Amino acid sequence: MYSVDCSGCPIVEVPQRSRVSGLNGVAKSESAILTRIAALLVPHPRGYTLPQALYCDPDIFELDLRRIFYRNWLFVGHISQIPRAGDFITYEIGGESLVLLRTRAGSIRALFNVCRHRGARICNHPAGHMSALVCPYHQWTYDLDGTLVAARNCGADFDANGCSLAPASVRVTEGFIFVCLDGPPPDFTVVEQDLHQHLTLHELEGVRVCHTRSYLVRANWKLLDENARECFHCAGSHPEYCGAVMSAGATTPREVELAAHIQAEKEAEWRFLGFDVRQKPFAPGTFHSVSRYALRPGVVTESLDGQPVAPRLGGLPTLDAGVVGIGIYPSLLAETCSDYAVTLRFTPRAVDITEVEMAWLVRSDAKEHEDYEIDRLTAVWRATAEQDWKLCELNQLGVRSTRYRPGPYASNEWGCRHFIDWYLEELVGRPSLTASPSRSIAREP
């Protein structure tokens, strides 16, 4: 695991065999890969981890990029990272690069970072400010909306129409920016409604990124998604997180019952205060989850001592607002308490390398050293994330062994089964096949 204590991604030499192609790149015949996957899945029972090749094979990784990452909504960042016209961030996925920028009209655009002259990459910085996009090769110049405005020596009859930069789809919801590279994008309406329902009082349009941290985790991206979909491992691995979140550390039936009792009490209190607490867990056919859950008695945020680490967010009527957990396949895990939010963006870099960029967000008027300290603000999630990356790397080491075989998810790993069902539906157009085995211990929540 590599980490960098700043925004942007560390430079890592990715092995040649793992280099990936863009939207149109096809390393091998797609039909041959699909035939191979179909053969792998025929004996694969629902409720089991995936066959080895789906975690380890570079050709299947290429298919993951084309069918999962290019076709779905990807979380890229927060609006506070590009507040003024001309501010930009870049985002790379597979062989593609996007420039996310604020236009003069104040909207946010996503443009493919590919010059319409001879194809050079235009913008080579992770973030910054520009008055126009100027290609470094022969200086073709584009306005912030992607329109070509200058092209030298192209003759009097040159028609700039049709030479705008290619756009990608963009959605901004509750301050979070999502892109989709290859249309038509999935319907995002219900996701936006559910995010708004749970986040409106947090007013996340009014926060700013105060700290980022990047990691390169030596594991296939699906192992990170699976890890994020269950808290079976929490009690044994996350002392800081379990010290804050009531349900995470509950293992015995008595503890589970107590956690459910406290959750019900808190929901009644929150409802009285005006919160809409209808939970939206992952459901069949969905690719998102948004839920508000209770912290331990006396704990008001995810901090080491349970006490606030930043000023109260937005219009929340109480500091004791629990935590809103958000998951959106394939690239976002986020949580927000009453004083800060944290986002984890998963970006696959190779079949066995996943970049995670973490961002912490506080009220935009909060001042470091007066209102918050980075170490205190980030302590719980920094510890929790680094514990998870170690587990994911151990998982990758095991699944590449000759003795690895798909294993059954436990009853409290139903989120993993939902993720695998969604993944296989996206990858090969059908759910994780066949009937559950008779001895399966997996069940829906």
Binding site for Fe ion (CB under 5 A): 388
117: contact with ligand FES by CB under 6 A: yes
The least CB distance from residue 233 to Fe ion, in Å, is: 6
User: What is the amino acid identity at position 64?
Assistant: D
Q: Which residue is nearest to Fe ion (CB)?
A: 388
Residues 76-105 within binding reach of ligand FES (CB under 6 A): none
118: contact with ligand FES by CB under 6 A: yes
Helix (H, G, I), strand (E, B) or coil at 112: strand
| Number of shown-chain residues binding ligand FES (CB under 6 A) | 10
The least CB distance from residue 50 to Fe ion, in Å, is: 19
Out of Fe ion, ligand FES, none, which partner does residue 117 contact, by CB within 5 to 8 A per kind?
Answer: ligand FES
Residue nearer to ligand FES on the CB measure, 28 or 137: 137
Pick the binder of ligand FES from 104, 137, 278, 307 (CB under 6 A). Answer: 137
**C-alpha span between 175 and 204 (Å, rounded):** 6
Helix (H, G, I), strand (E, B) or coil at 321: coil
The least CB distance from residue 152 to ligand FES, in Å, is: 8
Out of ligand FES, Fe ion, none, which partner does residue 174 contact, by CB within 5 to 8 A per kind?
Answer: none
Stretch that binds ligand FES, among 40-48, 92-100, 133-141, 397-405 (CB under 6 A): 133-141
CA-CA distances (angstroms) from residue 302 to 174, 258, 325, 345?
21, 20, 12, 19
Stretch that binds ligand FES, among 35-43, 136-144, 275-283, 336-344 (CB under 6 A): 136-144
149: contact with ligand FES by CB under 6 A: no
In this structure, are strands 341-350 and 353-363 parallel, antiparallel, or unpaired? antiparallel
407-411: long-range contacts, CB 8 A cutoff, minimum separation 24: 407/48, 407/49, 408/47, 408/48, 408/437, 408/440, 408/441, 408/442, 409/47, 409/48, 409/49, 409/230, 409/441, 409/442, 410/232, 410/441, 410/442, 411/441, 411/442, 411/443
16-19: long-range contacts, CB 8 A cutoff, minimum separation 24: 17/58, 18/58, 18/61, 18/349, 18/350, 18/351, 18/352, 18/353
Residue nearer to Fe ion on the CB measure, 90 or 336: 336
The least CB distance from residue 153 to ligand FES, in Å, is: 11
The least CB distance from residue 31 to ligand FES, in Å, is: 34
Residue nearer to ligand FES on the CB measure, 120 or 190: 120
Stretch that binds ligand FES, among 12-20, 24-32, 117-125, 322-330 (CB under 6 A): 117-125
User: What is the amino acid identity at position 394?
Assistant: L
69: contact with ligand FES by CB under 6 A: no
Decide: 293 and 246 in contact? Cβ < 8 Å. yes
Decide: 72 and 31 in contact? Cβ < 8 Å. no
Pick the binder of ligand FES from 70, 112, 140, 293 (CB under 6 A). Answer: 140
387-390: long-range contacts, CB 8 A cutoff, minimum separation 24: 387/237, 387/238, 388/224, 388/227, 388/228, 388/237, 388/238, 389/1, 389/215, 389/217, 389/219, 389/356, 390/1
Stretch that binds ligand FES, among 137-145, 364-372, 407-415, 417-425 (CB under 6 A): 137-145
Residue nearer to Fe ion on the CB measure, 62 or 388: 388
Stretch that binds ligand FES, among 135-143, 253-261, 315-323, 365-373 (CB under 6 A): 135-143
User: What is the amino acid identity at position 232?
Assistant: F
Q: Which residues contribute to the site for ligand FES (CB under 6 A)? A: 115, 117-120, 135, 137-140
